[in-house]
Amino acid sequence: MQIEFKNLYFNYNNNSEFKVTVLKNINYLINKNNITAIVGKTGSGKSTLTELINYFLKPTSGQVITDGFISENSTKLKFKVVNKLRKKIGYLFQFSENQLFEDTVIKDVSFGVKNFYPKDDGYEQKSKEALRLVGLDESFDSRSPFDLSGGEKKRVAIAGVIAYKPDLLILDEPTAGLDAQGKKEIMDLFKKIHETGVQIILITHDMNVVLEYADEMIVLDNGSIQKYGSPKEILKENVEKYNLETPHIYKTINALKEKGIVLNNVTDIPSLVTELKKHG
């Protein structure tokens, strides 16, 4: 799905004395079926940018063009048009485990499918497929979502978003509040979903996740794009000035460099091992 930001500006509380400028002159084109990571410190406008994609917000000036749907300040959005777009986008919010409300897991997961495809009888089948994909077996189907653990609730929320088969998944800090194992499991799950042809936009503070999973990254700071490109190139340089953490692997390389061991071509742990072996 092609997403284009054209001279995009966004203010909160425009027309009042409490105006806050969040995005300044954003120009960017996401046109490949990639995992795109959007990073930046708290308040840099990451969530605002993704909410603009999904028509939750309207640009103050400029345009956001998502899959041919143009959003600008002057357009009056009709619900039917908005829903046509939202059908193609799965938006997983931060603390998505709080959005569950039905009395059984299967009903909650099929909620989105029923809303977007009211004439489709196959919603139960689709929901079951989504639940199996996120790793919850049949025994969960008829349980109440409120009896589940935090991690399981999150999986139900993910299933609820992927059940209607969106082309694009927007993930707002999906790994926040998870332990190391849970983080890896969830990110591997998203990778699996990505391999079925779903494009992903990922907001995160975890540079290790970005380095391992993302194909493309955008660094936001003070409302404008500071850097963009391949995570391997960007994270190698000093990113701490944008309040980002250098990934563990590059920290290791830098520490080794200080001891006089210079390694090139290292991007993950296996390549680190091979390079170290070469060094003797």
Partner 1 sequence: MDKYILGKYVPLNTFIHRLDPRMKILSMILLMVAIFMPFPSWTFTFVMSGFNALIIFVLMLISKVRLRDIIIQLRSIWFLLLVLMIINIFLPPNGSIHIIAQSGNFKLYAESFMQTGKVMLRLIEMFGVAMILTATTSPQELTFGFGWFIKPLKKIKFPVEEVSMTVSIALRFIPTLIEETNRIYKAQSSRGVDFKHGNLKMKFKGLIALIIPLFVSAFTMSDDLAFALEARGYNPKAERTSYRVLKWSTKDTIWIILITLFAAGIITISAMHLDLLRHFFPKIW
146 belongs to the binding site for partner 1 (CB under 8 A): yes
Among 89, 159, 186, 239, binds partner 1 (CB under 8 A): 89
7 belongs to the binding site for partner 1 (CB under 8 A): no
**Rounded-to-integer distance, Cα 134 and Cα 191, Å:** 11
Name 39's bridge partners: 219
10 belongs to the binding site for partner 1 (CB under 8 A): no
Length of the chain: 280
The pair of three-digit structure tokens given for residue 205, joined into one six-digit string: 């503070």
CB closer to partner 1, 70 vs 101: 101
**Binding span for partner 1 by CB under 8 A among 111-119, 196-204, 229-237, 238-246:** 111-119
76 belongs to the binding site for partner 1 (CB under 8 A): no
Among 21, 25, 34, 99, binds partner 1 (CB under 8 A): 99
Indicate if the alpha-carbon torsion angle 61, 6, 241, 251 is positive or negative: positive
Phi-psi region of 223 (alpha: psi -120 to 50; beta: other; left: phi over 0): left
Name 89's bridge partners: 168
Please count the other Cβ atoms lying within 10 Å of the Cβ belonging to residue 105.
Answer: 27
CB closer to partner 1, 30 vs 159: 159
Compute the least distance from the CB of residue 116 to partner 1, in Å: 5
Among 10, 164, 190, 213, binds partner 1 (CB under 8 A): 164
Among 2, 115, 238, 254, binds partner 1 (CB under 8 A): 115
Phi-psi region of 68 (alpha: psi -120 to 50; beta: other; left: phi over 0): left
Percent of the chain as helix, strand, coil, to the nearest 5: 40, 20, 35
**Contact set with partner 1 (CB under 8 A):** 51, 54, 56, 79, 83, 86-87, 89-91, 93-96, 98-101, 111-112, 115-116, 146, 160-161, 164
